[in-house]
Structure 1
Amino acid sequence: MVTKFIENYAKLIVSVPEEVSVSKEIIEDNFAQITIKVNSVDIGKLIGKNGNMINALKTMANGCKAKDGISYKIQVVTD
């Protein structure tokens, strides 16, 4: 659920939405890492000024912890 939301949200923000891919890796029973791969020209847009955009995504992902009990770490990388 959270990965699909982040993927759809990221595609709305970036200039090259067809190059956005989101993957989820379970690290422990209650911890997962979400990796967002974007084009190098879009990394600044996804992070946002002073990190506001990525912090909003992190806040939303941490809100999902109440539902599924998993903590999420979000990482943004380029192709």
Structure 2
Amino acid sequence: MITNFIENYAKLIVSFPEEITVTKEVIDDTFAEIVIHANSADIGKLIGKNGNMINAIKTMANGCKAKDGISYKIQVLANE
């Protein structure tokens, strides 16, 4: 659920939406890591000025924590 939302949201922000992929790795019962892979030209757009965009995505993920009890770490990486 959260990975689909983040992927669709990220595709609306970037210049190269076809290169967006989102992966989720479950670390344990209460923690998961979400990685957004994007074109290197779009990394700045995903992070935003002063980190505002990525902080908004993290805030939304924290809202999901209240529902399912899982904490999320979100990273943005450039495609190789």
| Shorter-normalised TM range | over 0.9
Q: CA deviation at 1:10?
A: 0.1
TM-score, reference length from structure 2: 0.98
Taking the aligned partners of 2:43 and 2:29, their CA distance within structure 1 comes to 30
**Aligned-partner residue type, residue 71 of structure 2:** S
Q: State the identity as a percent.
A: 77
Corresponding residue for residue 38 of structure 2: 38
Q: CA deviation at 1:16?
A: 0.1
Equivalenced residues, count:
79
Matched, 1:7 2:7: yes
Taking the aligned partners of 1:21 and 1:73, their CA distance within structure 2 comes to 16
Taking the aligned partners of 1:74 and 1:2, their CA distance within structure 2 comes to 11
Indicate the SS of the match to 1:41: helix
Can you give the 5+ residue segments of structure 1 that lack an aligned partner in the other structure? none
Note the aligned Cα RMSD (angstroms).
0.4
TM-score, reference length from structure 1: 0.99
Taking the aligned partners of 2:37 and 2:59, their CA distance within structure 1 comes to 19
Corresponding residue for residue 18 of structure 1: 18
Deviations 1:1-32 (A, max 9, x none): 11100000000000000000000000111000
Can you give the 5+ residue segments of structure 2 that lack an aligned partner in the other structure? none
Deviating above 3 A after TM superposition, structure 1's stretches of 4 or more consecutive aligned residues are none
Taking the aligned partners of 1:64 and 1:48, their CA distance within structure 2 comes to 22
Map 1:54-73; keep pairs closer than 5 Å.
Answer: 54-73=54-73
Indicate the SS of the match to 1:4: helix
Corresponding residue for residue 74 of structure 1: 74
**Aligned-partner residue type, residue 49 of structure 1:** K
